[in-house]
Amino acid sequence: MQYSTFNLIKEGFVGHKNWPAAWTTPALKKSYDAVIIGGGGHGLATAYYLAKNHNLTNVAILEKGWIGGGNTGRNTTIVRSNYFYPESAAFYDFSLKLYEGLSNDLNYNIMLSQRGQMTFAHSQHDLEMIRRICNAMQLNGVDASVLTPDEIALRIPNLDVSRKARHPIWGAVVQERAGVARHDAVAWGYARQASKLGVDIIQNCAVTGFQIDRGRIKAVETKRGIIKTDKVGIAVAGHSSVIAEMAGFRLPVQSYALQAFVSEPLKPALDTVVVSPATGVYVSQSDKGELVFGSALDLYTSYAQRGNVPVLEDTVAGLLALFPSFSRVRMLRQWAGICDIVHDSSPIIGHTPVVGMYINCGWGTGGFKAIPAGGYTFAHAIAHDTPHPLAKPFTLDRFKSGALIDEAGAAGIAH
Amino acid sequence: MMKITCPFCGARNENEFHRGGEAHIARPQPSMDTSDDVWGEYLFFRDNPKGIIVERWRHTYGCGQWFNVTRDTVTHEIKAVYDIEAPKPAIDAQ
């Protein structure tokens, strides 16, 4: 049933008893045209675009836990396209444009709030660098402007902009179209539409191995039986290396935990997204009033979804250096997601050494903003066995050819 | 907070240390005759196990010494600390 004011009123008269489940829970079939491993944002979006754009509906999504329960449900929900290189800007701006129309496309309110994102300069040198990034963004056709300390102080009254601040504010580059979206809604919205188009969402179904014959994928082994298929798409973020090992190849990926933190709800105090490269902190305020913030990766590789204390201390110290008035705020929750870190902070979308097997990984700490474009271009790669034009620079081959797209500097925080 | 036992200084907090990545990687020789595939593998492709990893660490904010560690990437338990030049130990999958 369509989510609409009309249906809401209609259902109001009959006690809201007819709303169907947002997605169905089908039985696992013996074979599929394509199997997507990973029911996070990227996996769900991939299945949706396979069905919608490529008419491939005999598709299963296999999820080890529950959909949207990994990094999709464990991030700071920032969407932006303030990248430096033309390849990245084109890709991430396409993603942001899809986000801008996503609530209508999915008939599901993803609560996109384009409240702008500021990246601070804390010194004369920072200021020169953000001017350079601003110029690059404008040349790439992405909206950007530089704000003076006075303009920043007007927009963020509780920010410490004094000259005596530990990290003084010299300016900021702002992307007004950036903002936040409701992370769970993105997963659920994609799941609902994918399910409606015929995709089977199979939860609690861990992959245990693959059947590969002469370098070609034949079947996926799971805890619930063997599934025959000619095409497999892997979208498992931090666990990419684990799945790749099952299929017998290696990836240029290292898995690190990235923590995020939520405070108790406050009255409206911050109506933009703030990134401070010097402290490593990024923070926004959710619609419920909680401060949602995070900073750098944990210090060593990890598959433990909990995070460690030194980074927590650094993050809180950084936040308070920027906003001294938050010092009495109590923390509500902390969690960590496992991020697939690659050397150039750019994604890997497309072929693997196994024929019929494709991978979507390498998003590192910024996969959420890329969900629509990641799914869109990955679906293209799976359906046509060739990279989408926007994803051509982001294949696995670049680690052999050397054509890296080193976005580490422009991603805001040096992870 | 993870405690790491530096061979010289003893047990110290993890934030005195710096992780140097996978241990026992040999540079392909002679490098002029190395194919792009092998060179790319050497530069960028790394083991990333969910379990026991063999890696280099440096006591950066202490004595500055490099050493090797076997560590569990799920529990963060350190199984062994050994000399940087010692051969790779056999890894018990348990």
Taking only the tens place, the pLDDT of each residue in B48-62 is: 999 999 999 999 999
Do A294 and A368 contact (CB within 8 A), yes or no? no
Separation CA A25–CA A63 (nearest Å) = 12
In A231-338, which ranges are continuous DSSP H helix? 240-247, 309-322
| pLDDT of the residue at B84 | 93
- Does residue B40 register a pLDDT over 90? yes
What is the spatial distance between Cα A118 and Cα A272, in angstroms, rounded to a whole number? 8
Q: Per-residue pLDDT for A24 more than 90?
A: yes
CB contact A299 to B (< 8 Å): yes
Reduced to 3 states, what is the DSSP secondary structure of residue A316? Answer: helix
Partner residue facing A253 (CB), from B19, B43, B48? B48
User: Is a pLDDT exceeding 90 seen at residue A37?
Assistant: yes
Report the gap between the CA of B34 and the closest CA in chain A (Å): 12
In the prediction, which pLDDT does B94 show? 46
Query: To probe the interface with B, which of A400, A404, A406, A415 has the most B CB atoms within 10 Å?
Result: A400
Looking at residues B10-30, what average pLDDT do you find? Answer: 94
Mean pLDDT along residues A321-332: 95
Q: What is the pLDDT of residue A414?
A: 53
Cβ-defined contact of B49 to A245 (cutoff 8 Å): yes
Please check the confidence at residue A317 and state whether its pLDDT lies above 90. Answer: yes
> Of how many residues is chain A composed?
415
Which contiguous run of DSSP H or E holds residue A402? none
Are A310 and B13 an interchain contact pair (Cβ–Cβ within 8 Å)? Answer: yes
User: In b/e form, how buried is each residue of A179-197, taking b as 16+ CB within 10 angstroms?
Assistant: bbbbbbbbbbbbbbbbbbb
A98-134 pLDDT, tens digit per residue, is 999 999 999 999 999 999 999 999 999 999 999 999 9
Stretch A254-270: mean pLDDT, rounded?
96
Confidence of residue B31 (pLDDT cuts 50, 70, 90): confident
Which chain B residue lies closest to A246 (C-alpha atoms)? B49
Residue B86 reports pLDDT greater than 50: yes
Least confident span in A16-30, A387-401, B79-93? B79-93
Structure tokens at A49: 């675009």
Structure tokens at A103: 């609530």
Distance set, CA A103 to CA A99, A110, A320 (Å): 8, 6, 35
| Contact by Cβ (8 Å): A313, A295 | no
Q: Shortest CB distance from B19 goes to which of A299, A342, A402? A: A299
Contacts of A22 (CB under 8 A, 6+ apart): A188, A191, A192, A195
Q: What is the DSSP string of A129-173?
A: HHHHHHHHHHHTT---EEE-HHHHHHH-TTS--STTSSS---EEE
Q: Average pLDDT for residues A364-377, to the nearest whole number? A: 96
Nearest-by-CA chain A residue for B72: A302
Mark residue A53 as left, alpha or beta (left: phi above 0; alpha: psi -120 to 50; beta: remaining): alpha
Cα distance between residue A135 and residue B38, in whole Å: 38
Asked if the Cβ–Cβ distance from B45 to A252 is below 8 Å, we say: yes
Task: Determine the residue of chain A that is closest to B19 in CA distance.
Answer: A300
Token pair 């019929």 is found at: A356
Which residues in chain B have Cβ-Cβ distances shorter than 8 Å to A241?
47-50
Q: Is the pLDDT of residue A335 over 50?
A: yes
- The pLDDT > 70 percentage for chain A reads 98
| pLDDT of A178 strictly over 90 | yes
Q: Determine the average pLDDT of the residues in A156-175.
A: 95
* pLDDT higher than threshold 50 for residue B83: yes
Which of A242, A251, A309 is nearest residue B50 as measured by Cβ atoms?
A242
A301 in contact with chain B, both atoms CB, cutoff 8 A: yes
Please give the ipTM for the structure prediction. Answer: 0.94
Interface check A403 vs B, CB under 8 A: no
Q: Is A241 on the interface with B (CB under 8 A)?
A: yes
Does the beta carbon of A305 lie under 8 angstroms from any beta carbon of chain B?
no
CA distance A336 to A258: 5
- Asked if the Cβ–Cβ distance from A310 to B75 is below 8 Å, we say no
Chain B residue with minimal CA distance to A342? B44
Minimum CA–CA partner of A344 in chain B = B44
Average pLDDT over every residue of A297-318: 93
Strands (E) across A198-238 are located at 200-202, 207-213, 216-222, 225-228, 232-234
For residue A413, what pLDDT band results from cuts at 50, 70 and 90? low
Cα gap A185→A102, rounded to integer Å:
11
Taking each continuous run of H as one helix and of E as one strand, the counts in chain B are 1, 6
Report residue A187 CA to chain centroid gap.
11
Q: Could you tell me the pLDDT band of residue A407, with boundaries at 50, 70 and 90?
A: confident
- Give the phi and the psi of residue A10 in degrees, each rounded to 5: -55, -45
Mean residue pLDDT across chain B: 93
Q: Which residue has the tokens 């050494």?
A: A353
Pair type for strands A357-361 and A232-234: parallel
